[in-house]
Structure 1
Amino acid sequence: MSHTKRIDQALETRGIAVGTFISFNNPDGAEFAAHSGFDFVLIDAEHGAFYFEGTVAMMRAAAAGGAASVVRLPTSEHSGITKILDAGAAGVLISSIRTGEEARRVVQAAKYGPVGKRGFSPGTRAMDGFNNNKEYREWSDKNTLIWAIIENEEALENIEDILDSGISGIMPGPYDLSMAMGYEGDTTHPVVVKALDRVAEIAVKKGVDLVVFTEVPEGEGAPTPYEIAMSWKKRGARFIHFSTDRMIMASGYGKILDGLKEPLDV
């Protein structure tokens, strides 16, 4: 049994895997997203208002729906990475990576020896579904998703070294990067867009998986999710996650209230 079975099938058949961000402490939401057909859920343990136990509950729920879980962690701390992988995460997304050396430490925390420094304990939840410990260790070292977010200027300066560290995927972080560059969240500023494009181009050139986040724009003339996905696929992206549970709920509630404003003055 592979924790990334649905992802593997998606990459093989359509060349791109599709996910969504989970930011609420809501196992039902994670399970519903999985049953809806997303290949993976990205559980935001950096900005989400929950801790380790809440994260594990959502990972279990997503697995019940057939989707893999990648967990966004707030730091590159070794113990945090190994703990969430032992709990059954298919991968980690590490925020605020700045240097190649830091990225290499992340890789070492996620991989077993002799390549890495991940501690081994028999019988962890991550090994459920595998025939034996050896089978899991071999699968894990080869298939664990080790992603880093590029969201500061130091990371931009060190992008090639970061990409050469052994990480499996890179995610351009438009929001924090635009703040770090002094553009106050303007992710469409030409300087920000140029920097993000450079990260994407170098990643694809080096054969590191390009992971992207996109909102789902609304209104007349807005591109469809399919058009967005195909546009990123043409640029070499392998993973794309659409929106967040919070954004989706806010949009849905907003549409209901917009329909009530004129007739009921709500």
Structure 2
Amino acid sequence: MYTHDNKFKNNLKEPGVQCGVWCVLSNPCSTELVASIGFDWILLDVEHAPNDLRSILAQLQAVAPYDSTPIVRLPDHSITAIKQYLDIGVKNLLIPMVENATQARELVSAVRYPPRGVRGIGAGLARASRWGAIKNYLQDADEQICLILQIETEDGLNNLEEILDVEGVGAIFFGPSDLAASMGFIGNPSADAVKKIICEGIFAAKKRNVPTGILSFNKSDIVEYVKSGINFIATGADSYILRVGAEALLREGRSLTNLSLHS
């Protein structure tokens, strides 16, 4: 049975780290396969993947029977897009390139209904309220949405404390790759200076009881971030899993088929 509760948001209040995975292949079948594995959360990417409102809807429907909670990353700060994605049932929104408290307040307002915000009231006709079947949707929706702000520039980190003080920010997500580029370490998100400033950001958020998340493919970096107090982390992506798996399969196939050359 469908529940209005946001499991991902609720679990952020509990001890431990939620393990997730990035999904960029933009296909309901591949996303469903990943969801069936048992990750705590999966990220459906609209910023750097060929997704749109309809393809995200199809993937939300594909993963609905599973325990993995979807998070959707939007490409920008569009209030109109935020409204549309919330109405198709997205509860966890990741917004990129947040750099100051003014942006944070505008985004909080965008995910809340009046009088606390500016979200348009149309969910009674949409999937979010199960087309009106959830009778208390309008009253409860604000508290069930988790707004995650992505910090991925030096300006964002310099303004992190004032962003953390904005009421309604559900979590902070650090973007190591873009942050590394803004600091002069493009292509090297594992640079010591980058990791140091991220760990400081994790600590600053922890002092204010704001959960933090990150994406990292580097095992030693992951250990550092976990020790620093990260709350949710993605350690890979569907495209990476497919490529690495395919490469390993090809190597194995080559070694087996080349046996005939030496027999």
TM range (shorter): 0.7 to 0.9
Q: Note if contact 2:180-2:194 (Cα within 8 Å) is conserved in structure 1.
A: yes
Q: Deviations over 1:170-211 (max 9, x none)?
A: 011100111111111211212211221121111111111111
Q: Deviations over 1:74-113 (max 9, x none)?
A: 1011111111011101211011111110011111101112
Identify which of 249, 252, 255 aligns with 2:248. Answer: 255
Q: Tell me by how many angstroms 1:24 deviates.
A: 0.8
How many equivalent residue pairs? 255
Q: Tell me by how many angstroms 1:262 deviates.
A: 4.9
Structure 1: state its 5+ residue gaps: none
Q: The residue matched to 2:149 in structure 1 has which SS?
A: strand
Q: 1:204 to 1:65 in 2, by over 3 A?
A: same
1:201 matched to which residue of 2? 203
Rounded Cα–Cα distance in structure 1 between residues aligned with 2:68 and 2:8: 8
1:109 matched to which residue of 2? 110
Q: 1:12 to 1:168 in 2, by over 3 A?
A: closer
Percent of paired sites with the same residue: 29
Q: Note if contact 1:4-1:68 (Cα within 8 Å) is conserved in structure 2.
A: no
1:181 matched to which residue of 2? 183
Q: Tell me by how many angstroms 1:129 deviates.
A: 8.8
Q: 1:101 to 1:13 in 2, by over 3 A?
A: closer
Q: Note if contact 1:76-1:94 (Cα within 8 Å) is conserved in structure 2.
A: yes
Q: Tell me by how many angstroms 1:11 deviates.
A: 5.2
1:120 matched to which residue of 2? 121
Q: Tell me by how many angstroms 1:30 deviates.
A: 1.7
Q: The residue matched to 1:132 in structure 2 has which SS?
A: coil
Q: 1:4 to 1:174 in 2, by over 3 A?
A: farther
Q: Tell me by how many angstroms 1:73 deviates.
A: 0.7
Q: Note if contact 1:4-1:67 (Cα within 8 Å) is conserved in structure 2.
A: no
2:237 matched to which residue of 1? 244
Q: Note if contact 2:17-2:232 (Cα within 8 Å) is conserved in structure 1.
A: yes
Q: 1:4 to 1:42 in 2, by over 3 A?
A: farther
Structure 1 position 192 matched with structure 2 position 194: yes
Q: 1:129 to 1:207 in 2, by over 3 A?
A: farther
Give TM-score scaled by structure 1 length.
Answer: 0.86
Q: The residue matched to 2:22 in structure 1 has which SS?
A: strand
Q: Tell me by how many angstroms 1:18 deviates.
A: 2.4
Q: Note if contact 1:21-1:42 (Cα within 8 Å) is conserved in structure 2.
A: yes
2:261 matched to which residue of 1? none
Q: Note if contact 2:18-2:232 (Cα within 8 Å) is conserved in structure 1.
A: yes
Rounded Cα–Cα distance in structure 1 between residues aligned with 2:14 and 2:207: 22
Which residue identity lines up with residue 248 of structure 1 in the other structure? Answer: I
Q: Note if contact 2:74-2:94 (Cα within 8 Å) is conserved in structure 1.
A: yes
Q: Tell me by how many angstroms 1:234 deviates.
A: 4.5
* Correspondences of 1:1-266 after superposition (within 5 Å): 1-2=2-3, 6-7=7-8, 15-121=16-122, 122-128=124-130, 132-133=134-135, 135-165=136-166, 166-215=168-217, 217=219, 228=222, 232-262=225-255, 264=257
Q: Tell me by how many angstroms 1:2 deviates.
A: 3.2
Q: Note if contact 1:3-1:68 (Cα within 8 Å) is conserved in structure 2.
A: no
Q: 1:127 to 1:72 in 2, by over 3 A?
A: same
